[in-house]
Structure 1
Amino acid sequence: MSSRRRAVKSGERDTPRVERVDAGGREGVSTVWRLRSLAAGRDLLRARHATTQAGFTAEAIPRGRLKHHPILVSDGPQHDDQRRKVARFLAPNVVQERYTASMQACADRLLGEAVTAGRCRLDELALLYTVEVTAQVVGLTESSVPRMARRLVSFFNQPPFDITRADLGRTPRQWARAAVNGLLPIGRFHLADVRPAIRARRRNPRHDIISHLIAEGYSTPSILVECVTYGTAGMVTTREFITMAAWHLLRDEPLLERYLAAGEDERLAILHEIIRLEPVVGHLYRRAQQEVSVGDGDESWTVEPGDLVDVCVGAANADPRAVGERPLELCPGRELPAGVNPAVLSFGDGEHKCPGQPLAMLESDVLLRRLLALRPRIAREPELGWDHLIEGYWLRGLELSFDEPRSGVAAAEGP
């Protein structure tokens, strides 16, 4: 089977479609289900209130000290209430109307600097861009974006872990390192970015998430944790996707020309197909709290309470029974079953589906359209690596050059 997928991790499999790996009585180790079938994965993710978040080290986060648990790791009615209230900041029409102009201005400014310099590292430019866009939505607007970006990146300097183990398989020394590497950046982020933003919003509330959290009675520690969640989630995944999408488009001349000539709907269809093929978050983990039935065609299985479930996003997104022929090719506009998101599971599904999908796709399109209209050349291919915290890929060092330094980005103007 031919493949256009670039982010291929050694050891990843696409079979069996549903797999149960028994713990074999080993203390502290979970029975694990691996779901590579899209149908089975959606059954699990849509089993409302029957599972809890287990990814992103959610089960190791202390629950007793915060009245409001972070939206990424909360579950049940509290999570439903949080999502319902935050939806007004991330709904597609709100994103279009409220944030498009600021995205365009930010993209034009950063690209203007890159063109003047004659080259750029796209992962670095995309980092500044996504942090600035996310900061506007969240309300983290009282500090330097480049410095905040460095602080957010430092959160990911964590030791590896084994999610199937109750202690994550870390040694005491690794836990100590995790605490230091996590708490110090959080402290700096609080003092330099979050505290000034909270003070400003208490004096002058705006239409942003921090103002909403203050109105909801969130404590300062709870607001800090939410800002960490939104800041890192809004930055890391979109940054990697922008770099990956540019890499694909610059190495596929017909697809690049199609993208640049297309209207917004078709451009977004191309980007959705790229992220279907190259999901940034490769695995979604849930802990069963009740029996859950998952099915694949004529077969079905029962996940027992306490079992850990790994929804293998890369495999499910390329499930030929769901996405059709040539699942590892780029086919924008491919026919999908009714109700299947064009990104398939790249933004999750069910109660924990990422609410930021409209924002991520629009901001990616705004930057990529302007960047690619400048006709950059790849001066250096990126390095591909893997992040165990988000179970996804990273790309570093994609260097782009422009034919000659210019003083503006006239070629990329337009909405």
Structure 2
Amino acid sequence: MMLLERLRIRKAYIFNLAIYFILLCYSYYFYFYIYQDYTYQVGYSLSLNYFKLIEAIVFTVSLGALYLYYDISDSIYLTYSFILYVLLFVPFTVFYWMSNNYRQYFYMVVTAFLILELFFIAYKYFFSTKREKNTRFNYEYILLFVFAVFLIVNIFAYLKYGHSLYYLINLDEVYNIRYESREKIPTYFKYILQWSALVVIPTSIAYITKIKKYYLLIIPLTVQLLIFTINGSKFYLFSLLINLFVFLIYSGGLMNFMLPALNLFITFVLLWKNNFVMSVGIRRAFFVPQSLSFVYYEFFKSHPKLYLSSSFLKRFVENIYSLDSPFIISRYVYHEPKMSANVNFIANAYSHLGFIGIVLFAIILALILLAFEYFSENNVNRKFVVLISFSSFLALVNSSLLTTLKTHGLLIAMIMSVLFLKSFRD
């Protein structure tokens, strides 16, 4: 019976992956060339190359085969790499063949995803079935201490820089406080608030859920709202909702339903034909990251690269642009110096070190995911790692790896995940 169920799931996966690819192709054509939103048509050419379509299908299927063979819901590594595959790689292949874009860069991106998958296969073959060793040290005390420190700092930040909860029901006016926060709040406070909203508060929710003291949830939820009123970032509100949603899907073993859900979402957006919904649900969600990715490649293949001069090596390497890559693209390509053209971790890696950078950062990301996998494997509390780290991880779709580790708190998420898993050994 289990074998038949597994075969049914695999057939459904193949079917839904094919529908997803077709829907993305139709969405690109419909939005930019039937619906014709001329506001955003620049940079989204329609130049169909059917040989590149074959390439797109071959690599979509071959790299997607990993998630056909393994159960996604049994692995943090597979869950996160699958999300990148679905949200980044498949739309990337669609954009590649429909806009007849650079083949060299296409194979660079294929290489990055291949590295991610090969590292997982190597881990399962050589290092899997790790078991937790018994220890007398109580990590729960450290976890509670971290909660207390961040709670105190967040309350202090709200008393010093916070605004009225009025903005929670008037989201269109948050830009007033967003500009003010950029001027007033020190950089180190911004990091703390980001780590709190994206990592520490989700960890505290995981802790409270684990000990089943649900009435205590009012504390982290209130703090999250207060943090929002400090800098007006809507992402703090919506990221927590997305976090909880993905956590429920993963904990219920329903990751295989992600593709059908995306197919329903795209179908709904196409049928609704609302300007704003289509712009966000099709253009922004699936094709802006891909367009920017090729723009980065086109610019930095003919201009000097950054060589990590805007990272921790800035003291040793001169940045000839005096800008980070998102602002370089905004200024010299889009002629909007105040805009920040954020892009995914692969294109950002190319802007620093070219193809070597893509390989290097793909390996680093694979090692990070292996760390999550190593500490969570065979642990019954593995599902809570998703709740703790997903908001930080999702930033990779529109941010560099180093920025995600530092600013978006992925490194903090790894530490908090380890503390949580070691605090509870059921």
Mark yes or no: TM-score above 0.5.
no
TM-score range, shorter chain: under 0.3
Q: Which structure has greater helix proportion?
A: 2
